[in-house]
Amino acid sequence: MATIVKMPKLGTTMTEGTIVKWLKNEGDPVEKGEIYVEIQTDKVNIEDEAEASGILRKIIVKEGETVKVGEPIAIIAEADEELPDLEVVEDVADGKQEESASVLTQEEDKIAEAIEAVPGKIKASPAAKRVAREKQIDLSDVTPSGPGGRIVERDVLAYIQEHKVRATPVAKKIAIKEQIDLGSLQKAPGERITKEDLEERLIEQEIVDTIPVTGMRKIIADSMAYSKQVAPHIYLSLEVDMSKVIDLRERLIPLVQSHRDVKLSYNHILIKAVATALKLNPLINSSFTEEKIILKQNINIGLAVALEDGLIVPVIKDADKKGLAVIAKETQELIQKAKTKKLLPDDYQGGTFTITNLGMFDIENFCAIINQPETAILAVGKIIKKPVVVDDEITIRPMMNLTLSCDHRAIDGAVGAKFLQNLKQILEEPMNMLL
Amino acid sequence: MAEKLYIEALREGLREEMIRDENVFIIGEDVGLYGGAFGVTKGLFEEFGENRIIDTPISEAAIAGAAVGAALCGMRPVAEIMFFDFFTIAMDQLVNQGAKNRYMFGGKAKVPMVIRGPMGCGTGAAAQHSQSFPSVLAHFPGLKLVMPATPYDVKGLIKSAIRDDNPVVFAEHKLLYWTKGEVPEGDYTVPIGKADVKRQGKDITIVAGSIMVPRSLEAAQKLEEEGIDVEVMDIRSLKPLDLQTVVSSVKKTGRVLIVEDDPISYGWGAEVAAGIVGSEAFDYLDAPVKRLAGLDIPIPYNPNLEKHAVPQVPNIIDAVKEVLR
């Protein structure tokens, strides 16, 4: 049915309005509620919404023209609908319009009075304000019934009654504890809010963003959980005096640089040292199955590399057989590949032992989870200068903490300790790596 | 319990106090053999004699002055002012002497006097014999002011007033004299400075004083038929003013109508209204505090106009409905 749109009354004092701009042309479709015209009242310009959906068939009042409130300004109708004869419609509508307009005006006046009395102020009795405050109700949501558009206590109580939510006792308890507004939980009328609804809400509230558990994240999640489930971890820690390693590295840096064009890092030295220690402790270089512990011939050292969205462990194969320069070069290449996601399966498979180093994050010591099916992992902390006692003298030494996580199914404490002790000896006297 | 007239209860209180304490005496115009212009002291002259029921010349200044002086000397005078209007003539003695002496002598002197008289219109006595202005007297530090509205209260309060060591203005209302109510035999007192809930209700609190208390109760009864539950509070004392009882009631009902017999401007209702708005009751107010009081005019002689000069029962009913809108 065709809708004859009239100049709306947009304020108590508004008697006429000027069309500032039609935001739609004749023939354009409009949705009910869509902003489609800008109207100037005696005070302000207001964008008005379409009161019906259809086609803006006819613009009666042109831009810049002024008409009285209630006069037709446009017709919204179906595309093929015959438009009503405006003259007749106006005559018929006039009488009716008078009536409905006066009722409307009264209503509007009441609301307008409430809202416009003092800009930004809502007229409400102190009692209404108190109840609203206590029940955390926004007074602008409450319909006034008091004289002069005043919100009185009964209005707030009526609002509360209307918006009363039904909830199970447990749900109510949770709501209070977690400070959830039960009113914000949408439920079909008559249906009670349950514990489950609140739990859902709690979960929703905690979410900032979601990250799908797929790909690398899924692999990390599964393998870490699996390792902790199947492998009873024991943790062994000790401190290593890194003085000689530091000294060695200083001296080797230029050599390695000239040989392989790579800067020698502590990780490179650690890989070599660990490989050397593993050779002395073959039980640590193993994997565990239900039937047997497999001792590995090759010493392939994995190095955990943090990526933006996870971590990966490229493997330096036969590290015990390689010199520091080669280890440094290979490691650097693998890390580069890892960071650009160019690692091939062969680059990260076949590891027999893993090193993970968080020293660059100032971590002093930590316990790592074993990278199954390996049986141990070495967690490396930051090198920190500390006062230590050497020959009954307190002296400052660069100390580094090592924590070995062992799968107790395969490795007993003493076995792991022996390895760690050997590693300490190697690092404190790096010439051991040459033996 | 026996039903008595207000005037009888008042007389009974006076008589019992005179028997109890020989320092109590009555002084005023025609209070002796004639028994007072309204008959309050009828029979007391015969019982207590001319030394304790003292007739005076027509001089309220002299009556008040004599009472202040006697009180300072240890007596407990009860001075009658024939019409409340004539308090204006007694004002200098009462306000500048009676109200001040105890303070100015650093508490060494006491002024245990009562000065009482009938106020109010409704008897066709015209502008000079119809005024109610208790608010005026309640304004002065050093004076206490009570205005009992029931036979029970008038007996209990006259006793408290006589026993009080300060000057107490005792404002009666002419139209109350012939109202009836239960009055216990023998001695009891009603405390000065305590308001009294005369009727419990939950929709609105009427704070009324003196003649407006029975009028408000009548209005409340009629409103009850319409399902409106009115609490009627008798303010009873204007000085000291019992705001706490008012505040408690307003916190319960959230709406207040104050009904006074005085002209509205600067009346005690404004004091009560300000007290409510400035108290913790503020947060419980659900409608503006409304006052209903006498018009700002001298009381007309014409009986129809006289009726319109102060609140009547239908006015109270309308005002309650307005506050409850």
Per-residue pLDDT tens over the stretch A116-144: 456 667 899 999 999 998 888 889 889 99
| Averaged pLDDT for residues A309-317 | 90
Site of tokens 């005096």: A241
- Greater model confidence, B278 or A162: B278
A5: Cβ–Cβ under 8 A, 6 or more apart, which residues? A50, A51, A52, A72, A73, A74, A75, A76
Best A110, A123, A130, A139 member to test B by mutation, with max B CBs in 10 Å, is A130
Q: Which of A92-101, A334-343, B9-18, B193-202 has the lowest mean pLDDT?
A: A92-101
Question: What's the gap in Å between the CA of A10 and the closest CA on chain B?
Answer: 28
Any A CB within 8 A of B283 CB: yes
CA distance A347 to A356: 17
- Cβ distance B22 to B32 under 8 Å? no
Q: What is the pLDDT of residues B158-200, one digit of tens each?
A: 999 999 999 999 999 999 999 999 999 999 999 999 999 999 9
Cα torsion angle, A415, A417, A422, A427, sign? positive
- Cβ distance B168 to B114 under 8 Å? yes
The H or E element containing residue B116 is strand B114-119
CA distance A413 to A237: 11
Residue B298 CA to its chain's centroid (Å) = 20
Query: What pLDDT does A218 receive?
Result: 86
Query: What pLDDT does B282 receive?
Result: 95
Find chain B residues with C-beta within 8 A of A142's C-beta.
Answer: none
- Cβ distance A377 to A371 under 8 Å? yes
Burial of residue A348, with CB atoms counted within 10 A of its CB: 0-12 exposed, 13-18 middle, 19 or more buried: middle
Question: What's the gap in Å between the CA of A156 and the closest CA on chain B?
Answer: 11
- Cβ distance A34 to A50 under 8 Å? yes
Any B CB within 8 A of A387 CB: no
- Whether the pLDDT of residue A93 is over 80: the answer is no
Q: DSSP assignment, residue B325?
A: -
- Cβ distance B143 to B239 under 8 Å? yes
Question: What's the gap in Å between the CA of A153 and the closest CA on chain B?
Answer: 6
Query: What pLDDT does A342 receive?
Result: 84
Q: DSSP assignment, residue A151?
A: B
Best B204, B282, B286 member to test A by mutation, with max A CBs in 10 Å, is B286
Any B CB within 8 A of A152 CB: yes
* Residue B252: half-sphere exposure toward Cβ, Cα within 13 Å: 19
Question: What's the gap in Å between the CA of B286 and the closest CA on chain A?
Answer: 5
- Whether the pLDDT of residue B24 is over 60: the answer is yes
Query: What pLDDT does A317 receive?
Result: 93
Task: Judge: A146–B285 Cβ closer than 8 Å, yes or no.
Answer: no
> How many helical (H) and strand (E) elements, i.e. helices and strands, does chain A have?
11, 18
Query: What pLDDT does B114 receive?
Result: 98
Cis peptide upstream of residue A373 (ω within 30 degrees of 0): yes
Band of pLDDT at residue A186, cut at 50, 70 and 90: low
How far lies B97's CA from each of A216, B91, B142, B208, B247, in Å?
Answer: 100, 9, 10, 30, 34
B300: Cβ–Cβ under 8 A, 6 or more apart, which residues? B126, B127, B306, B309
Any B CB within 8 A of A130 CB: yes
> What is the full DSSP assignment across B225-292?
HTT--EEEEE--EEETT-HHHHHHHHHHHS-EEEEEEEESTT-HHHHHHHHHHTSGGGGG--S--EEE
| Of B257, B240, B152, residue with least CA distance to B198 | B152
- Cβ distance A63 to A39 under 8 Å? no
Band of pLDDT at residue A86, cut at 50, 70 and 90: low
Q: What is the pLDDT of residues B29-47, one digit of tens each?
A: 999 999 999 999 999 999 9
Question: What's the gap in Å between the CA of B288 and the closest CA on chain A?
Answer: 8
Domain boundaries, chain A: 3-116, 126-206, 215-434
Any A CB within 8 A of B187 CB: no
% of residues, chain B, pLDDT over 90: 99
Query: What pLDDT does A98 receive?
Result: 45
Q: What is the pLDDT of residues A214-243, one digit of tens each?
A: 888 888 899 999 999 999 999 999 999 999
Find chain A residues with C-beta within 8 A of B285's C-beta.
Answer: 125-127
- Greater model confidence, A196 or B309: B309
Strands B168-173 and B144-146: parallel
Q: Which two tokens stand for residue A71?
A: 């006069």
- Greater model confidence, A110 or B63: B63
Any A CB within 8 A of B254 CB: yes
Q: Which residue of B has its CA nearest to A155?
A: B286
Band of pLDDT at residue A88, cut at 50, 70 and 90: very low
Band of pLDDT at residue A85, cut at 50, 70 and 90: low
CA distance B172 to B132: 9
Query: What pLDDT does A118 receive?
Result: 62
The H or E element containing residue B47 is helix B44-48
Q: Which two tokens stand for residue A79?
A: 């595309």
Q: Which of A62-66, B216-220, B236-240 has the lowest mean pLDDT?
A: A62-66
Strands (E), A232-327: 233-241, 286-288, 293-295, 301-303, 305-307, 310-312, 315-316
Band of pLDDT at residue A207, cut at 50, 70 and 90: low
Strands B53-55 and B24-28: parallel
Find chain A residues with C-beta within 8 A of B284's C-beta.
Answer: 126-127, 130
Best A153, A156, A157 member to test B by mutation, with max B CBs in 10 Å, is A153
Find chain B residues with C-beta within 8 A of A154's C-beta.
Answer: 286
| Of A4, A18, A17, residue with least CA distance to A86 | A4
CA distance A269 to A324: 7
Task: Judge: A152–B284 Cβ closer than 8 Å, yes or no.
Answer: no
Asked about A408 being catalytic, the answer comes back as yes
Site of tokens 């057989």: A321
Bridge partner residues of A295 (DSSP):
A286
- Whether the pLDDT of residue A288 is over 70: the answer is yes
Catalytically active residues of B are 60, 129
What is chain A's alpha carbon radius of gyration, rounded to the nearest angstrom?
Answer: 39
Q: What is the pLDDT of residues A242-287, one digit of tens each?
A: 999 999 999 999 999 998 899 999 999 999 999 999 999 999 999 9
Band of pLDDT at residue A92, cut at 50, 70 and 90: very low
Between CA A387 and CA A394, with CA A393 as vertex, the angle to 5 degrees is: 15
Strands A29-30 and A54-59: antiparallel
Q: Which of A35-49, A355-369, B123-137 has the lowest mean pLDDT?
A: A35-49
- Cβ distance B236 to B153 under 8 Å? yes
Query: What pLDDT does A117 receive?
Result: 54
Band of pLDDT at residue B318, cut at 50, 70 and 90: very high
Query: What pLDDT does A114 receive?
Result: 47
- Whether the pLDDT of residue B319 is over 70: the answer is yes
Q: DSSP assignment, residue B78?
A: E
Task: Judge: A152–B286 Cβ closer than 8 Å, yes or no.
Answer: yes
CA distance B315 to B309: 11
CA distance B213 to B210: 6
- Cβ distance A398 to A241 under 8 Å? yes
Does domain B196-324 fall into CATH 3.40.50.920? yes
- Cβ distance B94 to B115 under 8 Å? yes
Band of pLDDT at residue A87, cut at 50, 70 and 90: low
- Greater model confidence, A111 or A131: A131
Band of pLDDT at residue A27, cut at 50, 70 and 90: confident
- Whether the pLDDT of residue A106 is over 60: the answer is no
Within this chain, domains B2-183 and B196-324 share the same CATH topology: yes
Query: What pLDDT does B51 receive?
Result: 95
Domain boundaries, chain B: 2-183, 196-324
Site of tokens 């009795």: A125
Q: What is the pLDDT of residues A368-406, one digit of tens each?
A: 999 989 999 999 999 999 999 999 999 999 999 999 999
Task: Judge: A146–B287 Cβ closer than 8 Å, yes or no.
Answer: yes
Question: What's the gap in Å between the CA of A123 and the closest CA on chain B?
Answer: 11
Out of 3.40.109.10, 2.40.50.100, 3.90.180.10, 3.30.420.10, the CATH code matching A3-116 is 2.40.50.100
- Greater model confidence, A111 or A17: A17
> What is the full DSSP assignment across A347-410?
HHSS-SEEEEE-GGGT-----PPP-TTBSEEEEEEEEEEEEEEETTEEEEEEEEEEEEEEETTT
Find chain B residues with C-beta within 8 A of A157's C-beta.
Answer: none
- Cβ distance A68 to A26 under 8 Å? no
Band of pLDDT at residue A33, cut at 50, 70 and 90: confident
Counting one residue from chain A and one from chain B, the pairs whose CB atoms sit within 8 A come to: 26
The overall average pLDDT reported for chain A is 84
Q: Which fold has domain A126-206?
A: Dihydrolipoamide Transferase (4.10.320)
Bridge partner residues of A402 (DSSP):
A238, A380
Query: What pLDDT does A43 receive?
Result: 61
Specify the CATH class of A215-434 in words.
alpha beta
Question: What's the gap in Å between the CA of B148 and the closest CA on chain A?
Answer: 32
* Residue A167: half-sphere exposure toward Cβ, Cα within 13 Å: 24
Query: What pLDDT does A101 receive?
Result: 43
Q: DSSP assignment, residue B80?
A: E
Residue B68 CA to its chain's centroid (Å) = 20
Query: What pLDDT does B166 receive?
Result: 97
A297: Cβ–Cβ under 8 A, 6 or more apart, which residues? none
Find chain A residues with C-beta within 8 A of B254's C-beta.
Answer: 125, 127, 153
Task: Judge: A152–B285 Cβ closer than 8 Å, yes or no.
Answer: no
- Cβ distance A422 to A294 under 8 Å? no
Query: What pLDDT does A119 receive?
Result: 64
Q: Which of A200-204, B131-135, B193-197 has the lowest mean pLDDT?
A: A200-204
Query: What pLDDT does A91 receive?
Result: 43
% of residues, chain B, pLDDT over 70: 100
Any A CB within 8 A of B325 CB: yes
Q: What is the pLDDT of residues A35-72, one digit of tens each?
A: 888 888 766 777 788 878 888 888 888 888 888 888 88
**Residue B109: how many CB atoms within 10 A of its CB?**
15
- Whether the pLDDT of residue A12 is over 60: the answer is yes
Find chain B residues with C-beta within 8 A of A152's C-beta.
Answer: 286-287
Any A CB within 8 A of B193 CB: no
Task: Judge: B286–A153 Cβ closer than 8 Å, yes or no.
Answer: yes
CA distance A132 to A109: 24
3-state secondary structure of A293: strand
CATH node for B2-183: 3.40.50.970
| Averaged pLDDT for residues B150-157 | 98
What is chain B's alpha carbon radius of gyration, rounded to the nearest angstrom?
Answer: 19
Q: Which of A338-342, A379-383, B40-44, B148-152 has the lowest mean pLDDT?
A: A338-342
Band of pLDDT at residue A189, cut at 50, 70 and 90: low
Band of pLDDT at residue A94, cut at 50, 70 and 90: very low
| Averaged pLDDT for residues B243-271 | 96
Prediction pTM value? 0.54
Cα torsion angle, B94, B96, B101, B106, sign? positive
Band of pLDDT at residue B215, cut at 50, 70 and 90: very high
What ranges in A181-242 are assigned the alpha helix state H? 195-206, 215-230
% of residues, chain A, pLDDT over 90: 42
| Averaged pLDDT for residues B79-103 | 97
- Whether the pLDDT of residue A102 is over 80: the answer is no
